[in-house]
A and B are shown apart, each in its own frame.
Chain A
């Protein structure tokens, strides 16, 4: 804690008003590591996950001389709130987790450690692979490592498909809609497919956009897709909603409200869900399995490199007093097989193939299926998304809000799309 205190820098304004009380001093770049190091490590999630990473951290500390480490954790919302507050006080944890949504903001502000000096030294680059390193780059410099990744996938209730004697097959988006119609039992309140538009994540829309060889955001941080693409997307789902194949927005929003707890697939009230690969585990645990992981519908011959996104970026604070130790810990989190055997796939699939294949035998059937699915998809090329603009979360929230406007029938898809684009001019 004393060390944490020593690297405080006052923000100008707070300094002006509270200067009388405070004796702030800035810690410059440190050269050479101090004799004793106490790392603060911060992760998000519930206690079961935190325990796994505590074990990883304990293992790491044992390999180091004169290093101690403290880990803190909180659910994701509070985690980022605390991180923001820490950042404002130049008191970031030494090593911590980020998502792609926050990466650009922290990297752009110079809050993250430039990892370049440690690549090939403490950090084993070859193991991670050239394809993956760019996911942690900002302006051509590596500030974070993509320790885990995840992929777009479709989850289905295999039990119901088997009962009805239907084979899942959906090459195109039209196939998917037809299959959902076939699976729905509108009179019994059983839905063919879950509406992915009104919830808080917008990964399915991201897949839709990238399949069209576009991006949510371009290199300049402006919207990188056509307005028509969004209109088509909303019209696609509006049609399924109108037929009762996808749920009405009130049903959908309620089921989205508590993670997977109330999910319609978990409650056995829907047959198909556009998802991420790791959801097989998260949803499967809650309903005793019976789910299957399958490929997305595609748009023929347009793009093959749309599938993956980073589930987790691990990074270090720019002002950590022991950057070498922090870099070594980052390497452990990404590359160390023994550590991965403890943390398993709690955060997605480990990026290095050697690690993900190395831990596979230890995993549950569902988890093995996730890794097999993602490794198979890895034969496809990858396309790192451009670094998200600082206000990307505002866009996501706005997309959700306008999707709800459409779903509740308060706006037509075309009206909502043009409103979203003009709204985006305010913050992008």
Chain B
């Protein structure tokens, strides 16, 4: 009974379109004409004859591996810092969340150029520090992905807030008891905080990982949808989007979507499989 709304939503709104996309992945479909069954042709083309597919996989994996741990560490660090009894923390918490409010707005493309462009803030700071011949970070193929990773870390507000909520659930008497036993700050963090909020860490890890695999909006806005310069920010879903909405190859895009689903599912399964070693639930 509790599950009823979810079941209706799942079957009515999500499952139908999902199955449609699965079926479409075995068809040639350009939106305008009726889909035509082509078997595994789309999948064959993806694996056998598409160098840009591999490029986009590479970009996406690099992004996931680098930005997810960085962002989570940052978010957790700041959350712990903001969970202390310092005065005015309410204000800081809100200020630190501000970037996340902006993170997907169209203005971000402009703002990011103000920081990482040739005359941007970042170069001005480096210039003050004595560096010369500074690159244009956004328009240099080797560096562009780095600016997007920075953008992702910069919008760490969501996991931070979830960490904060988790930290708030840790009963304070645990800390008091530990303090009585003479445990230092780090010991308390490692022995109490981490285990107690491990379900929340786990949640953030899974969700940020899935989100990173699917990164789209920021990459789309910053590169204007091209994934440039020279495909250096061609994220998987950006390429998928180009295939669907620029090239009208919806069958191909659907096949790519299901390949990504399998990749993500594999990583999520790995995370779940190892989770009973380090995630502690109140029910145990």
- Output the nearest chain A residue to B228 by Cβ-Cβ distance: A404
List B residues at the A interface (Cβ < 8 Å).
12, 16-17, 19-20, 23-24, 27, 29-35, 49-50, 109-110, 113, 117-118, 135-136, 138-141, 224-226, 228-231, 242, 245-248
Name the contact of A408 in the complex, choosing from B32, B141, B246 (C-beta under 8 A): B141
Asked if A18 CB lies within 8 Å of chain B CBs, one says yes
A/B interface sample: 10 pairs, CB < 8 A = A84-B245, A87-B32, A250-B229, A253-B139, A254-B118, A391-B247, A393-B246, A394-B247, A397-B242, A410-B230
Specify the chain A residue showing the minimal Cβ separation from B110.
Answer: A258
Q: With A11-B34, A88-B31, A200-B226 given, is the CB distance from A17 to B23 under 8 Å? A: yes
A80 within 8 Å of B by Cβ? yes
Chain B residues with Cβ under 8 A from A427's Cβ? 247
Q: Taking the nearest CB of chain B, how far is it from the CB of A202, in angstroms?
A: 13
Q: Which chain A residues have a beta carbon within 8 Å of chain B's beta carbons?
A: 11-14, 16-18, 21, 77, 80-81, 84-85, 87-88, 105-106, 109-111, 200, 249-251, 253-254, 257-258, 390-391, 393-394, 397, 400-401, 404-405, 408, 410, 426-427
Known interface pairs A87-B31, A254-B136, A401-B228; A394-B246 also in contact (CB < 8 Å): yes
Chain B residue with Cβ nearest A15: B20
B110:A109 contact, CB within 8 angstroms: no
Q: Which of B136, B224, B242 contacts A251 (CB 8 A)?
A: B136
CA–CA, A400 to B228, complex, Å? 10
B232 to chain A, nearest CB (A): 10
Known pairs A200-B224, A408-B229; A13 contacts B20 (CB<8 A)? yes
Q: Closest 5 CB pairs between A and B? A: A109-B32, A250-B139, A88-B31, A250-B136, A18-B16
Decide: B49 and A426 in contact? CB cutoff 8 A: yes
Does A257 lie within 8 Å of B136, measured CB to CB?
A: no
Report chain A residues within 8 Å CB of B29: 11, 13
With the chains together, A11 CA to B242 CA distance in Å?
22
Q: Which residue of B19, B31, B110 is within 8 Å of A17 (Cβ)?
A: B19
Q: Which of A87, A106, A254 contacts B117 (CB 8 A)?
A: A254
Q: Let me know if A254 and B34 touch, CB within 8 A.
A: no
Q: B16 — nearest CB in chain A belongs to which residue? A: A18
Closest chain-B Cβ to A268's Cβ sits at a distance in Å of: 15
| Cβ contact of A404, chosen from B118, B224, B230, cutoff 8 A | B230
Q: Compute how far the CA of A389 lies from the CA of B18 in the bound complex, rounded to whole angstroms.
A: 30
Give the interface SS of chain B, mostly helix, strand, loop or mixed.
Answer: loop
CA of A167 to CA of B229, assembled, Å: 36
**Are B23 and A404 in contact (CB-based, < 8 A)?**
no
Q: A18-B16, A250-B136, A257-B113 are in contact. List 19 more A-B contacts (CB 8 A).
A: A12-B35, A13-B20, A13-B27, A13-B29, A13-B35, A17-B20, A81-B245, A88-B32, A111-B32, A250-B135, A250-B139, A254-B139, A257-B224, A401-B231, A404-B228, A404-B229, A408-B141, A408-B229, A410-B141
CB distance from B27 to the nearest CB of A (A): 7
Q: How far is the CB of B35 from chain A (nearest CB, A)?
A: 5
A427 to B52, CA, bound (A): 13
A393: B residues at CB distance < 8 A: 246-247
Q: Which residues of A contact B20 (CB under 8 A)?
A: 13-14, 16-18
Q: Assess A77 versus B229: contact at CB under 8 Å? Given A84-B31, A250-B140, A258-B109.
A: no
**Candidate in A81, A401, A410 with the most chain B CB atoms within 10 angstroms:** A401
Q: How far is the CA of A254 from the CA of B32 in the complex (A)?
A: 35
> A22 to nearest B CB, angstroms?
9
Tell me how far the C-beta of A359 lies from the nearest C-beta in chain B, rounded to whole angstroms. Answer: 33
Query: Are B135 and A105 closer than 8 Å at their CB atoms?
Result: no
Closest chain A CB from B201 CB (angstroms): 37
Task: Identify which of B23, B33, B228 gathers the most chain A CB atoms within 10 Å of its CB.
Answer: B228
Contact call B225/A77, Cβ cutoff below 8 A? yes
CB-CB < 8 A to A254: which residues of B?
A: 113, 117-118, 136, 138-139
Q: How far is the CA of A200 from the CA of B228 in the complex (A)?
A: 11
Which of A13, A253, A401 is in CB contact (< 8 Å) with B24? A13
A107: nearest chain-B partner, CB-CB = B32
Find out whether the CB atom of A105 lies under 8 angstroms from the CB atom of B32: yes
- CB pair A397–B139 under 8 Å, yes or no, is no
- Determine the chain A residues whose CB is within 8 A of the CB of B247 once the complex forms: 391, 393-394, 427
Q: How far is the CB of B244 from chain A (nearest CB, A)?
A: 8
- Given A251-B139, A390-B248, A426-B49, CB of A405 within 8 Å of CB of B230: yes
Q: Which of A253, A394, A404 has the most CB of B within 10 A?
A: A253
User: How far, in angstroms, from A81 to B31 measured CA to CA in the complex?
Assistant: 11
Decide if B245 touches A408 in the complex (CB within 8 Å).
no
Q: How far is the CA of A13 from the CA of B110 in the complex (A)?
A: 41
Minimum Cβ distance to chain A for residue B22 (Å): 9
Q: Give the residues in chain A near B228, CB-CB below 8 Å.
A: 253, 400-401, 404
Inter-chain contact B35/A401, CB cutoff 8 Å: no
Chain A proximity of B10: nearest CB distance (Å): 13
Bound-state Cα–Cα, A18 to B20, Å: 8
Measured CB to CB, the nearest residue on chain A to B230 is A404
**Interchain CB contact under 8 A, A397 and B226:** yes
Query: Distance in Å from the Cβ of B135 to the closest Cβ of chain A?
Result: 7
Q: Which residue of B lies closest to A12 (CB)?
A: B34
What CA separation (Å) do A400 and B226 show in the bound complex? Answer: 10
Determine whether the beta carbon of A109 is less than 8 Å from that of B16.
no
Q: How far is the CA of A264 from the CA of B276 in the complex (A)?
A: 58
A408 to B141, CA, bound (A): 9
B105 CB, min distance to chain A CBs, angstroms: 14
Residue of B nearest to A85 (CB): B31
- CB neighbours (8 Å) of A404 from chain B are 141, 228-230
Residues on the A chain within 8 Å of B109, using CB: 257-258
Return the chain A residue nearest B15 by Cβ. Answer: A17
- How far in angstroms is the closest Cβ of chain B from A368? 32
Nearest CB in chain B to that of A92: its residue: B32
What separation, in Å, do the CA atoms of A392 and B225 have in the docked complex? 17
Q: Of residues A257, A258, A400, which shows the largest number of chain B Cβ atoms within 10 Å of its Cβ? A: A257
Q: Quote the shortest CB–CB distance from B74 to chain A (angstroms).
A: 28
Residues of A within 8 A of B24 (CB): 13
Docked-complex contact B113 and A11, CB < 8 angstroms: no
- Bound-state CA distance A109–B32 (Å) is 6
Inter-subunit contact A21/B16 (CB<8 Å): yes
**What residue of chain B has the Cβ atom nearest to residue A404's Cβ?**
B230
> From residue B63, how far is it (CB to closest CB) to chain A in Å?
20
A106: chain B residues within 8 A (beta carbon): 32
